Structure 1
Amino acid sequence: MDIKDLIKKMTVEEKASLCSGLNFWNTKAIERLNIPSIMMTDGPHGLRKQAGSADHLGINESVKSTCFPTASALACSWNKDLVKNLGIALGEECQAEDVSIILGPGANIKRSPLCGRNFEYYSEDPYLSSQLSKNQIIGTQSQGVGTSLKHFAANNQECRRMTIDTLVDERTLREIYLASFETAVKEAQPWTVMCAYNKLNGEFCSQNNRLLNEILRDEWNFEGFVVSDWGAVVDRDKALSAGLELQMPADNGKGDSIIVEAIKNETLSEEALDRSVERLLNIILIALENKKENVTYDKEEHHNLAKSIAEECIVLLKNEENILPLNKNEKIAVIGELSKKARYQGGGSSHISPTRLDNAYDEILKIAKEENVLYSRGYDLSIDDINEELVNEAKELATKADKVVLFIGLPERYESEGFDREHLRMPINQESLVKELQSVNENIVVVLSNGSPIEMDFVNEVKGLVEGYLTGQAGGSAMANILYGEVNPSAKLAETFPVKLAHNPSHLNFPGEIDKVGYKEGIFVGYRYYDKKEMDVLFPFGHGLSYTNFEYSDLKLSSKEINDTDKLTVTVKVKNTGDVYGKEIVQLYVFDVVSNVQRPMKELKGFEKVGLNPGEEKEISFELDKRSFAYYNVDIKDWHVESGAFEILIGKSSRDIVLKETIKVNSTIEIKKAVTKNTAIGDIIDHPAVKPMIDAMMKMFGEGSDGLGEGDMFAQMMKYMPLRALATFNPMLEDTINNLIKEINSENK
């Protein structure tokens, strides 16, 4: 079917009709031209197809599907192949339910731990986020099902999300918030990108020409179509002109009429409409070509896949005195309502109706002897108030056990799409229970269920701490396997846990004032900030323990000096020095040793997860390119590497760097700024014509130029003095300065 020929046969009204939904989930069909309707539904960690009344908040029932771990948990696996396999499974389930596009993954940065939707996003780090997004997209689309990478862009809070103006400087936008999407778009080509609700630097994302056309299409070569978040369109004609093809959901033809009227009035060109229709039809026809008939999937097989994924998402944060793994023969007290009423997913549009649901308590009984497992509710999950009767019952039970396994976390009413958290505290009835139990039993393991970081005043009161996040429908069996050592934990945090909320860099600028929020922390998001401030954290980015030990050695670089156009190969060996099989996540960070611009102390630029038997050693290889060393230069509007030394850091976490090598990188692009009367003397100090002027000025102060830059007060003053100031102190230098400016600018051409 020739798309351009098809468009020629359409009326303006028919073209416009394709640019909005038929209903809540479907595109419109044009029967006379055999253009079908396709269906898209919510994701991103499971299929939420609604058979009855439709909504976008997860209120109404959806068909049964596999609920996989949410992105907050999934990212902790740091396993690209695992994420790809999840994507494949999602694609299979979409094919079985006649769904052409699943709305996900979510690649927004976790700017603040307060964001109510953080459970649906991967990381505070754009490199990790983009790599995982890319692989999930590749997996799903390998099954002939499209994805919708969302929410583009800088959508980092729920408060006033439909009106807030996100104010981000260009460098921060490029290095942090757009970078989280960029690799996924360029290397995976999602069928669709979903625009965000918010404004970005004064213009709504749904009609932001620079965002949707200039960056997404012209720079990144995005080939699919842009769909609005549900209800995000403000001005339909402006949105279409700016690059938004599909408005969702249906609006009873209002948007279509606006488009038709704008074309009649010549405020919108028909060529722009034709471009949009071509992009839509291209994906619609691809979906039609890839539709498989009579597809089914094995629900048990997908449940087991969900379990194996969850097992790689559970983070062992603390393990004093090797309190874990548990022994099947020791008596444990399982305390906490969350052990039976699992919190396994977030609230809102990603709320899945699971095919089945495990809980940790039942799964523990399948491993341990029933007589060795005691249970107490401990608290009422539906309220925050302390129930003394439940507390006393739990304490009494704890005295009878060798170890206490306490399940606590955030109820769904604490975090969901639609609102942000106001604090990082847990319900008081759960947090206080830790200290109550510690008073009668020192051997406590806390198991957490939460979508994002929490403050933990109790952290020193427990010997074991396991971060379960929201691990989907099989999370209960995965947790039991981790606790008893049936599976060795291998996950690491994809975000920093601060000691307290006030330490977070966005704390004073979240969620903003009225309808504006300034990203005043700039590029210093997450570990970039905590490292720069040399601030203690509760648990650092990339942290996670194992039941075995790993040693790193033999870090090698393919060269000691490269140009920024070259590739650098980095190899390192990792060995399992313990007694059990385990997987280790090798993390590579880069640090610009001396820079003329603000740079983080380290930035993640590579990671690999490797499985090793006891005594086994493997060599891991990374390839670094220009972007691994570059920052975004707003003057040249491109990525730039400053010539100089860079450290290649290999770590077990962002705070546990075990090996380091240095390489010199030479920039192939010399940035020459125009010299003016306001140029600082220190910026051109190496030019031979500058020294005589400095000598003349220093003699006025009774000094020689030899001391320049070596602590002399006048020399330091001169270093940052603008050229125009020289003439102020010595009018005879006016002509000399003007000639110098002309000479240097002429040389720079």
Structure 2
Amino acid sequence: MIHSLKNYFLLGMLALPFLFLACEGPTAPVEEATEKAPDIEAAIDSLMSQLTLEEKVHMIHASSAFTSGGVERLGIPELIMSDGPHGVRHEHGRDWVKDEGVRDSSTYLPVGTALAATWNRDLGYAFGSVLGSEANYRGKDIILGPGLNIIRSPLNGRNFEYLTEDPYLNAEMTVGYIKGVQDQGVAACAKHFVANNLEYEREQVNVEMGDRALYEIYLPGFKAAVQEGGVYTVMAAYNKFRGDYCAHSEYLLDGILKTEFGFDGAVISDWNAVKNTMEAVNAGIDLEMGSDLPMLAMGPPDYGKFHMGDTVVTLVNNGTVDVALVDKKVRRLLRTMYRINAFGEREPGAYNTPEHQRIARQIADEAIVLLKNDGMLPLEQSATKTLAVVGANATRKHAGAGGSSQVKAFYEVTPLDGLQNLLGEGTAVSYAEGYTVSREGGSDADLIAAAVAQVKDADAAIYVGGWIHGFTDEWNDNAYDAEATDKESMELPFGQDELIEALLAANPNTVIVLMGGGPIDMRKWQGKAKSIVQAWYPGMEGGNALADILFGNLNPSGKLPMTFPVKLEDSPAHKLAVTGFESLEQNYTDGIFVGYRYFDSYEVAPAFAFGHGLSYTSFGYDNLTITKEDGTVTVSVDVTNTGDVKGAEVVQVYVKDDEANLERPAKELKAFQKIKLEPGASQSLTFELDEDAFSYYDDKQNKWVLEPGTFTILVGSSSRDIRQEGQFTW
């Protein structure tokens, strides 16, 4: 059993009919829920009538580092939470002390950007099911993910945790993730609501943006999480939004999330994100989490002294605060508990099963993106008697880094491991570090010379570099892709540019493999490299997946979920900014022109476009048809594998409004489908687009608007690789 049953008898005496409530999500039909289980709200009423004020207040703040307060007298358990957007985090003691000698290793899944790069909705669900199952096994009630913040700037240190720059792709991949988690009896937590798009001074920065950007870019993922995914909990962000902390914002939490989106679950603060008692009590935050880490050195904190702690009891008793405000928060927490069957016995989860490892591998298989290939890949195993592998990322393990997303991996196959596993004794594999992971180190002439000597005469050479996760104890030194820090630039650290140039001069056929959560500046060597591969942080099976792709046992099918700019200054968050990026006042003057919406509308050439990803085969697009009937536009297209090997293609459907009254992007993603085809095989695809696909948010009328006129449908392999297009009139 997940929770202690020492109070089970008491609970049974209170409300025996409620012990075995089914876990119904908020989108389940009322009739179906009524047939399957007693009314959850009646069960909540019963408990609410017996709770004292002190017990209610105890429930709305943390009771330890990762638990909320329970009520033992009534059998109400603590809610147990864990970080883990791509794997359940290692166990913490009640006050952040890392538990030792416990079975807390987990399946290390590829990171969020890698999941989005699969463009495979089914893998979104599979990803969530692994996470939920292992969280369940570990006794967790809430897993703190998915991260839904839009990738706005290449510099954000947490981009790797998130998914994409595009709101539609964000929403589509989010829904499966959430359902996968919650079908395992664990609550997902959509975070960070909203506009936490940078780690710089995240607890102080104020974000200003217009309503068009808010509704068209930054909210759709959260809206889908609530209305389509049925997410049980949402985490409020650290930052301020239009002058109010997100955790205190009545506009965001009560107005948009709870009223407009219809969210009836619990809103949790990010850790230490609540800054004011009255503002938090009056707004829609339901649970205050966190503790002041510096104070922990002086001993365990008094959680009753939190903003939503004992002070609230005093404020209710003296008439300053209406107890109804507290009751609303407690009801939402109890509703979440019933939905995950926290009062009963959940089906047990599973732990590092072969099936979980297989899913981690499949996601890695479909996530790796072939950015460039001038005939170099795939490599021939039979012709490769000597292989030179260079780069610290070839042997570096990333699971235990990154901040709150760190995972104690059951195992992690590095790129070098994967290559050795594949090639076996038939190929002599040599390795050279090439560079040292140290901000102070820079390039090292001796390490470069040793690496050059190895690649010069090898049958094949592979460089594995890119970004790294920062480790918790190295945040002040080597943090790049990590929580609580941002990158200083898009330039490769540790002198890697100089190393890559030297390797390509010595062996022009050196394959460049990049790891990390996002783009880098490749100007110094991109034109010289024949093959470039984006591997992300591909999880525990990533090394095996990478090896099979490089040697042609797998055909790459990943597509970029973000634009890779040529240089940082091309990114709209920087190009169109009116305030410095390290500023406490962040004005999103890029508006709706985020990512490819900017690059394609303003005709700025990217290094690699949104949706881009090459294959070892080719695909033809034919016979586009567009029909409109009532409020639905049906788009059909035939796709054929015109090459010699089996492959997968992501067919992307974009919409352009040709006659809008307000400025709109040159194109917007509105549908996609990943298909797998044998050589010579064809498939006819049909997409149905409703009115939402053609509407924009009019911030003058404060509503979504569909203007009559001409629209263009563009179908292709990326935002810059359009194969078919046609028009229709609405």
Note whether the superposition's TM-score is higher than 0.5: yes
| Structure 1 Cα separation of the partners of residues 490 and 400 of structure 2 | 18
Q: Secondary structure at the match of 2:506?
A: coil
CA distance in 1, matches of 2:100, 2:702: 45
The whole-number CA distance in structure 1 between the counterparts of 2:214 and 2:311 is: 32
Decide whether the 8 Å contact of 2:112 with 2:160 is kept in 1: yes
Q: How does 1:187-336 map to 2 (within 5 A)?
A: 187-249=228-290, 252-254=303-305, 255-287=308-340, 288=342, 291-292=345-346, 295-330=349-384, 331-336=386-391
SS of residue in 2 equivalent to 1:605: strand
CA distance in 2 between counterparts of 1:618 and 1:59 reads 53
Is 1:22 the equivalent of 2:63?
Answer: yes
Distance in 1, Cα, partners of 2:600 & 2:442: 37
Give the secondary structure class of the aligned counterpart of 2:486.
coil
Distance 1:198 1:59 in 2: 34
* Residue of structure 2 in register with 1:389 after alignment: 446
Match of 1:467 among 534, 559, 572: 534
Contact 1:18 1:29 in 2 (8 A): yes
Query: Which residue in 2 is equivalent to 1:350?
Result: 405
Name the structure 2 match of 1:379.
435
Structure 1's 99 and 162: CA in aligned 2 closer, same or farther, altered over 3 A?
same
Q: How far off its partner does 1:53 sit?
A: 6.3
- d(CA) in 2 for partners of 1:326, 1:234: 59
What are the residue-to-residue correspondences of 1:42-57 with 2, within 5 Å?
A: 42-52=83-93, 54-55=95-96
**Bigger shift: residues 265-274 or 308-317:** 265-274
Preserved contact between residue 113 and residue 452 of structure 1 (Cα < 8 Å): yes
Give me the whole-angstrom Cα distance separating, in 2, the residues matched to 1:54 and 1:116.
26
Q: Cα 1:59–1:339, aligned 2, differ >3 Å: closer, same or farther?
A: farther
Alignment partner for residue 495 of structure 1, among 562, 580, 604?
562
Determine the structure 1 residue equivalent to 2:545. Answer: 478
Structure 2 partner of 1:616: 681
Q: Name the CA distance, whole Å, in 1 between partners of 2:669 and 2:430.
A: 44
Q: Are residues 1:421 and 2:483 paired?
A: no
Contact 2:435–2:496 (CA under 8 A) maintained in structure 1: yes
- 1:650 paired to 2:705: no
Q: Quick check: 1:575–1:615 contact (8 Å CA) kept in 2?
A: yes
- 3-state DSSP class of the match of 1:311? helix
Q: Which amino acid aligns with 1:376?
A: A
CA RMSD after TM alignment: 2.1
SS in 1 for 2:449: helix
Deviations 1:577-632 (A, max 9, x none): 11211111010100001111010000011111111111111122212111100110
SS at match of 1:442: coil
- SS, match of residue 506 in structure 1: helix
Measure the CA separation in 1 of the matches of 2:187 and 2:504.
Answer: 50
> For residues 671 and 429 of structure 2, what CA distance do their matches in structure 1 show?
43
- Structure 2: which 5+ runs fail to align? 1-17, 19-42, 292-301, 470-477
Other structure's SS at 1:149 match: strand
Q: What one-letter code is carried by the residue in structure 1 that aligns with 2:618?
A: N
Match 2:516 to one of 450, 465, 470: 450
User: Which residue is equivalent to 1:537?
Assistant: 606
Measured in 1, the distance between the counterparts of 2:420 and 2:209 equals 51
Match of 1:635 in 2: 700
C-alpha separation in 1, matches of 2:157 and 2:580? 11
Q: What is the alpha-carbon distance in structure 2 between the residues aligned to residue 56 and residue 586 of structure 1?
A: 48
Deviations 1:156-184 (CA, angstroms, capped at 9, x unpaired): 01111001110011111111111232112
1:58/1:608 CA distance change after superposition, 3 Å: farther
SS in 1 for 2:497: helix
| CA apart distance, 1:345 | 7.1
**Which residue matches 2:108?**
67
Aligned to 1:558, the other structure's residue is in SS state: strand
Determine the C-alpha separation between the residues in 1 that align with 2:500 and 2:70: 58
Q: 1:233 to 1:23 in 2, by over 3 A?
A: same
Provide the rounded CA distance (Å) in 2 between the counterparts of 1:642 and 1:501: 35
Output the CA distance in 1 between the equivalents of 2:689 and 2:498. Answer: 48
Structure 1 CA distance for aligned equivalents of residues 244 and 503 of structure 2: 53
Helix, strand or coil for the counterpart of 1:578? coil
Aligned amino acid, residue 567 of structure 2: K
Following superposition, the deviation at residue 267 of structure 1 comes to 3.2
Give the counterpart of 1:116 among 148, 151, 157.
157
CA contact (8 A) 1:58 1:347 kept: no
Match for residue 145 of structure 2 among 78, 101, 104:
104
The corresponding residue for 2:120 is 79
Report the Cα offset of residue 362 of structure 1.
2.2
Out of 364, 378, 393, the residue aligned to residue 338 of structure 1 is: 393
CA distance 1:54–1:65, change in 2 (3 Å): farther
Report the CA distance shift for 1:164/1:58 in structure 2 as closer, same or farther (over 3 A): farther
Identical-pair percentage: 40
What do the CA deviations read for 1:144-201 (whole angstroms, capped 9, x no partner)?
A: 1110000000110111100111001111111111123211211111110000011111
1:1-26 CA distances to partner (integer Å, 9 max, x unpaired)? Answer: 42112112222111111101111111
Quote the Cα distance in structure 2 between the aligned partners of 1:572 and 1:461. 37
**CA separation in 2, counterparts of 1:344 and 1:653?**
31
Counterpart of 2:589 (choices 499, 515, 520) is: 520
- 1:403 CA drift (Å): 2.5
Q: Secondary structure at the match of 2:572?
A: coil
**8 Å contact from structure 2 (residues 184, 349) kept in 1:** no
Q: Which residue of 2 is the match for residue 151 of structure 1? A: 192
Partner Cα distance (1:170, 1:235) in 2 = 26
* Structure 2 counterpart SS, 1:279: helix
SS at match of 1:591: strand
Written as runs of structure 1 = structure 2, the 5 A alignment for 1:123-138 is 123-138=164-179
Opposite residue 328 of structure 2, the aligned amino acid is R
Closer, same or farther in 2 for the Cα pair 1:499/1:344, shift >3 Å? farther
The CA deviation at 1:241 is: 2.0
Q: Greater CA radius of gyration, 1 or 2?
A: 1
Cα distance in 1 for partners of 2:112, 2:96 equals: 22
Aligned mates of 1:358, 1:327 — CA distance in 2: 20
Deviation per CA, 1:655-707, whole angstroms, max 9, x where unpaired? Answer: 00110111111xxxxxxxxxxxxxxxxxxxxxxxxxxxxxxxxxxxxxxxxxx
Is 1:53–1:60's contact at 8 Å kept on the other side of the alignment? Answer: no
Corresponding residue of 1:671: none
Distance 1:361-1:339 versus aligned 2 partners, 3 A rule: same
Cα distance in 1, alignment partners of residues 208 and 344 from structure 2: 41
After alignment, is 524-533 or 2-11 more displaced?
Answer: 2-11
What is the TM-score normalised by the length of structure 2? Answer: 0.87
* Aligned amino acid, residue 526 of structure 1: G
What is the distance in 1 between the residues matched to 2:227 and 2:401? 29
Tell me by how many angstroms 1:61 deviates. 9.6
Deviation at 1:295, TM superposition (A): 4.1
Give aligned pairs, total: 661
Q: Judging changes above 3 Å, is the alpha-carbon distance between structure 1 residues 511 and 159 closer, same or farther for their aligned structure 2 residues?
A: farther
Question: CA offset at residue 264 of structure 1?
Answer: 2.7
Unaligned runs of 5+ in 1: 666-749
Residue 711 of structure 1 aligns with which residue?
Answer: none
Equivalent position of 1:181 in the other structure = 222
- Structural mapping, 1:428-439, within 5 Å: 428-439=494-505
Distance of aligned partners of 1:40 and 1:17 in 2 relative to their CA distance in 1, 3 Å threshold? same
8 Å CA contact retained: 1:342, 1:360:
no
- For residues 322 and 46 of structure 2, what CA distance do their matches in structure 1 show? 19
CA-CA distance at 1:318 after TM superposition? 0.5
Corresponding residue to 1:576 among 641, 655, 658: 641
- 1:481 Cα shift? 1.1
Deviation, structure 1 residue 49: 4.1
Change (3 A) 1:33 1:461: same
Deviation at 1:228, TM superposition (A): 0.3
